[in-house]
Amino acid sequence: MTRARTLLDSVPTGLWISNQSVAARSGQTFEVADPATGDLLTSVADGDADDALAALDTAVEAGPEWAATAPRTRGEILRAAFEEVTARADDFALLMTLEMGKILPESRGEVTYGAEFLRWFSEEAVRIHGRTATAPAGNGQILVVKQPVGPALAITPWNFPLAMGTRKIGPALAAGCPILVKPAEDTPLTMLLLAQVFADAGLPPGVLSVLPTTRAAEVSEALMSDPRLRKVSFTGSTGVGRQLIRQSADQILRTSMELGGNAPFIVFDDADLDTAVDGAMAAKMRNGGEACTAANRILVQNGIRPAFTEALAARIADMAVGPGYDDASALGPIINAKQLDSVAGLVDEAVAAGAIVHTGGTTLDRPGHFYAPTVLSDVPEQCAITRQEIFGPVAVISGFDTEDEAVARANATEYGLAAYFYTRDLDRVARVSAALEYGMVGVNRGVISDAAAPFGGIKASGLGVEGGSEGIEEYLNTKYIALT
Ligand code: NAD
């Protein structure tokens, strides 16, 4: 672990304000732990409302010049940051595995995915288009221009410590907005290292701040009640998202909300079994099941259900559990004790109600926060695990008879983030993808995220999209200028 120690010692651990790592005004710090062992990794400055407002001062000061910076220059700084994150992929991957727990190959995958938002938006910076039209009455010209919304606050979760930040930082910087990032308390280190990379890439002071804190509500409230902040972009749970939407009303902030999911993963009888099992492994077990897009409800047509269940349970039972930095591990720890208890509680309730356990079903008796990879079937409908995000390595399989039943059950949730289905029938592809009430649909594939595509949910899964050519709009105001 000497490489890990050297890396940890090189990461800035203060608040990142004005391109410098500074102590919190209170002098307080909090501990960041390795979820695989519970051991202390390092201590990080614990910012408060005053620190946050000091960071906002720097953003407000830097904002006009950044907005006026040539789009090509903004793009080139984003591109330089992309190159550096890519060159330091091993450092970013190890850091994420240390603070978040996922296995190293998945952390490397996140570096590629997360860095891609910097490259994608480096290219979008020079493609911010307005439009012109002659007024229908012929009495003037309509000129539509796009302008940066102004200082933005990004609040990010722990499950993708790099990508959830770059998905917001990329479009904000490309659009010409300064941004303050409040990373999750469990995983602040990745964003702090990224901030240093941006400073080295030439980003002017004040354009990007990072505010680690244990006082998320206090910090976000102070910033969101300050009229100088103009935008909040949140990724996290639906409950906190609802609270932030209410809070955003006072200053009428622009908001983007990437919230929870309850993804159905539907397998029709005519699907290719092996492809569907591969897809379910990716959609369920990637990131240890700790993904908003994770397959929460695996719905399998009854003709193929026994074979599918047997094949998936065999694959999942075979997963070696251990620290993410051990090459042998196929599944790392859960992020913290609270999340582990939540997963165990959901499974215990289902089992007590009569669910069948095909594999797993227990917390592992070892240091850190490990849960056995698990497959359940025959879970009674009243159990919370059928409605609630599991956010852990637990696959729940149930059967259905008809396409209409599958679609109705898939849509019977307040969420609408991602849905997946497997079939070889082209007519069914068209029907079912149209009928699913979701922001994103994967057809015969279990992983759908792409920096070039608009990621986002409907209903209780959120507002707005990140990525694609649509993503930058979240950081732009539309202005109409009437000309004669
Ligand atoms: P969370 O809502 O508890 O926390 C997310 C972030 O919000 C953290 O930075 C946290 O410190 C902060 N926060 C918590 N309470 C706050 C408050 N009162 N005011 C302001 N900020 C507050 O979620 P989590 O447990 O970190 O992440 C898991 C959730 O995130 C899941 O529900 C998952 O589905 C969701 N998620 C969604 C997406 C998406 O794109 N839709 C992506 C990843 C995760």
Closest CA to 97 of 296, 324, 368, 356: 324
| Sign of the dihedral through C-alpha 21, 27, 28, 34 | positive
Residue with CA closest to ligand 1 atom 10: 184
Residue 294 maps to which CATH number? 3.40.309.10
Q: Are residues 436 and 345 in the same domain?
A: yes
Which ligand 1 atom sits nearest the alpha carbon of residue 461? 41
Which ligand 1 atom sits nearest the alpha carbon of residue 217? 19
Q: Are residues 41 and 12 in the same domain?
A: yes
Q: Are residues 431 and 350 in the same domain?
A: yes
Kindly provide the ipTM of the predicted complex, given to two decimals: 0.95
Q: Are residues 209 and 326 in the same domain?
A: no
Instruction: Report whether residue 155 contacts ligand 1, using a CB cutoff of 6 Å.
Output: yes
How do 231-235 and 208-210 pair as beta strands? unpaired
Contact by Cβ (8 Å): 441, 418: yes
How do 394-400 and 374-377 pair as beta strands? parallel
**Residue 237 CA to ligand 1 centre (angstroms):** 4
Please check whether residue 310 lies inside any domain of the structure. yes
Q: What is the mean pLDDT of residues 221-248?
A: 98
Which ligand 1 atom sits nearest the alpha carbon of residue 156? 9
Which ligand 1 atom sits nearest the alpha carbon of residue 259? 41
**In the annotation, is 310 catalytic?**
no
Helix pair angle (189-200, 89-100), 10° resolution: 160
Q: Are residues 83 and 168 in the same domain?
A: yes
Helix pair angle (189-200, 163-175), 10° resolution: 30
Q: Are residues 331 and 204 in the same domain?
A: no
- For 121-142, what is each residue's pLDDT tens digit? 999 999 999 999 999 999 999 9
Residue with CA closest to ligand 1 atom 22: 216
Please check whether residue 57 lies inside any domain of the structure. yes
Position 27 scores a pLDDT of 98
Rounded to whole angstroms, the Cα distance separating 152 from 169 reads 9
Q: Are residues 336 and 468 in the same domain?
A: no
Please check whether residue 329 lies inside any domain of the structure. yes
Instruction: Report whether residue 395 contacts ligand 1, using a CB cutoff of 6 Å.
Output: no
Across the chain, what does the average pLDDT equal? 98
Please check whether residue 455 lies inside any domain of the structure. no
Q: Which residues make beta-bridge pairs with 44? A: 30
Q: Which of 99, 106, 116, 258 is catalytic?
A: 258
Q: Report residue 186 as tokens.
A: 């469990």
Rounded to whole angstroms, the Cα distance separating 101 from 335 reads 7
Closest CA to 223 of 156, 173, 155: 155
The domain tally of the chain equals 2
Instruction: Report whether residue 389 contacts ligand 1, using a CB cutoff of 6 Å.
Output: yes
Instruction: Report whether residue 157 contacts ligand 1, using a CB cutoff of 6 Å.
Output: yes
Instruction: Report whether residue 98 contacts ligand 1, using a CB cutoff of 6 Å.
Output: no
Q: Are residues 270 and 255 in the same domain?
A: no
Please check whether residue 456 lies inside any domain of the structure. no
Closest CA to 145 of 390, 484, 479, 482: 479
- For 342-366, what is each residue's pLDDT tens digit? 999 999 999 999 999 999 999 999 9
Q: Are residues 246 and 311 in the same domain?
A: no
Q: Are residues 312 and 331 in the same domain?
A: yes
Q: Are residues 234 and 335 in the same domain?
A: no
Residue with CA closest to ligand 1 atom 11: 184
Q: Report residue 43 as tokens.
A: 């201590």
Q: Are residues 153 and 32 in the same domain?
A: yes
**Residue 236 CA to ligand 1 centre (angstroms):** 2
Residue 82 maps to which CATH number? 3.40.605.10
Ligand 1 pocket test, pick from 102, 110, 240, 340 with the greatest ligand atom count within 8 Å of Cβ, gives 240
**Count, residues in the chain:** 484
- For 61-116, what is each residue's pLDDT tens digit? 999 999 999 999 999 999 999 999 999 999 999 999 999 999 999 999 999 999 99
Please check whether residue 79 lies inside any domain of the structure. yes
Banded model confidence at residue 429, pLDDT cuts 50, 70, 90? very high
Position 1 scores a pLDDT of 59
Domain that holds residue 74: 2-259+461-483
Whether residue 263 is predicted with pLDDT greater than 80 in this model: the reply is yes
C-alpha distances (whole Å) from 16 to each of 52, 92, 211 are 10, 17, 7
Contact by Cβ (8 Å): 184, 161: yes
